[in-house]
Amino acid sequence: MRNRPLAVDALLAAALTSVAVLLGPEAARQGQNPLDTTAYALVVLVHLPLVVRSRAPVVVCSLMHATWLVYVTAGYWAVVCSFGPMLAVYTVASLRALRVSVPCAALMGGVWIYAGAVSHTDSWPSVVGQAVVYPAVLWRFGVVARRSAELTRQLRREQAERARREVAEERGRIARELHDVVAHHMSVISVQTGLARFVFDTDRQTARTALDTIDATGREALEELRRMLMVLRAAHDGAPAGPMPSLARLEETAERIRVGGVPVSLTVEGTPRPLAPGVELCAYRVVQEALTNVLKHAPGASAEVWLTYEPHQVTVSVTDDGEGVILDRVRSDGGHGLLGMRERAKLYGGQISIGPQEQGGFAVRLTLPTSARTAGRGDDATT
């Protein structure tokens, strides 16, 4: 009906015209003037404008009432042609504002009273009641339909806006994921490339080890990017996706940073246990980003990684002693990595603190709830 309103309106016009024509012979049995050819022609003219009622409801309503007025003035029974004007009043109320629809409803009531006067009726209370109730009921139904349509449009706009926000959030999440993958692995590759170039002629074994690290890091980066792209594909090609990085790979990540020239110690407290995949990935990415920042901004520092399993939460912290920090790099950093850490913590209801230590160096500490009860608290304490 929404796709072909003209065809629907034409069918309505034909249906109401047919009802009026079939009702015509009832006029004589009601003591009214019988309908002749002129009357039936007026019946058709009254209902014909309904074909375009959705496009010009006010014009259609006015034209139909004018023709209906001519029909009534000719002395014919008003009820025969009343269904079309009723639909016209409803249409105006459902498509136009109150200041337009109220006069149209009043117009119908006026024509109805005029019809009673022309027919010299003796039941004025009935005529007046019909002149008030019929237009009022039709107007009310039309107003309810208009408000329902407005509410539907508003809901659709809100749904579209919510969909746009979800798309934007997903793009942001993907961007952070890509940043974590590219920044970490490319930092390691860059450092190892510089090391290999520096010792290529003097220490072939060290250069070979650096090249092996570059090869392994590049392969891992490609594998992670491949998994992410598989998620973004429109059609599933049936290829199995490998597991996302987890806390079990922290030692492997620390080893890559050690090879890059930054001493890293990893300490695990508590009893390791399986966690939700999102929580594991969040904790892993925060540690990865923090170690990458140490490698980029403080290549002469040493770092410590602590992983603590507690009954209802897991905590990871990365600290460095601040040796060899490159202040220019810290000042010029765009901050996407730190923003990504905070967004990840907020997503999983965790708390994160990022900043310099009093004794020197930098510290990142993340606490993530591992139960639905604590995860619902949100991240109101990120610093």
Give the pLDDT confidence of 55-87 residue by residue, as tens digits.
899 999 999 999 999 999 998 999 999 999 999
**Mean pLDDT, range 362-373, rounded to an integer:** 82
Nearest residue to 65 via CA among 115, 138, 4? 115
pLDDT reported for residue 70: 94
pTM: 0.48
pLDDT reported for residue 373: 45
97-130 b/e (C-beta count within 10 Å ≥ 16 → b): eeeebbebbbbbbebbbbbbeebeeeeeeebeeb
Residue 98: both structure tokens together: 């109150």
* Beta-strand pair 351-356/362-369: antiparallel
pLDDT reported for residue 100: 92
Please say whether the dihedral angle defined by the alpha carbons of residues 152, 157, 161 and 164, taken in this order, is positive or negative. Answer: positive
pLDDT reported for residue 62: 93
**Mean pLDDT, range 371-382, rounded to an integer:** 44
Higher pLDDT, 127 or 176: 127
Residue 375: band (very low, low, confident or very high) from pLDDT cuts 50, 70, 90: very low
Asked if residue 187 lies in contact with residue 292, where contact means CB atoms within 8 angstroms, the answer is yes
**Mean pLDDT, range 108-119, rounded to an integer:** 90
pLDDT reported for residue 187: 73
29 phi and psi angles, rounded to 5 deg: -70, -20
pLDDT reported for residue 218: 76
pLDDT reported for residue 94: 92
* SS3 of the chain: helix, strand, coil, percent, to 5: 65, 10, 25
**Mean pLDDT, range 42-60, rounded to an integer:** 92
Q: 115-154 pLDDT, tens per residue? A: 988 887 778 888 899 899 999 999 999 999 999 988 988 9
303 phi and psi angles, rounded to 5 deg: -125, 150
pLDDT reported for residue 380: 38
Whether the pLDDT of residue 299 is over 80: the answer is no
Q: 304-339 pLDDT, tens per residue? A: 999 999 988 999 999 998 776 665 555 444 456 677
Higher pLDDT, 193 or 172: 193
**Mean pLDDT, range 164-168, rounded to an integer:** 78
CA-CA distance, 143 to 98, in Å (whole number)?
Answer: 8
Helix 277-297 and helix 336-347, axial crossing angle in degrees, nearest 10: 160
Whether the pLDDT of residue 372 is over 70: the answer is no
Whether the pLDDT of residue 29 is over 50: the answer is yes
**Mean model confidence pLDDT for the chain:** 82
pLDDT reported for residue 376: 43
pLDDT reported for residue 212: 80
Q: 200-243 pLDDT, tens per residue? A: 777 878 887 878 888 777 777 777 766 666 655 544 444 445 56
Q: Which of 10-14, 133-137, 263-267, 341-345 has the lowest mean pLDDT?
A: 341-345
pLDDT reported for residue 203: 80
DSSP label at residue 365? E
Q: 258-273 pLDDT, tens per residue? A: 887 889 999 999 988 8
pLDDT reported for residue 294: 87
Measured distance between the N- and C-terminal CA atoms of the chain, rounded to whole angstroms:
56
Q: Got the DSSP string for 87-130?
A: HHHHHHHHHS-HHHHHHHHHHHHHHHHHHHHHTT-S-HHHHHHH
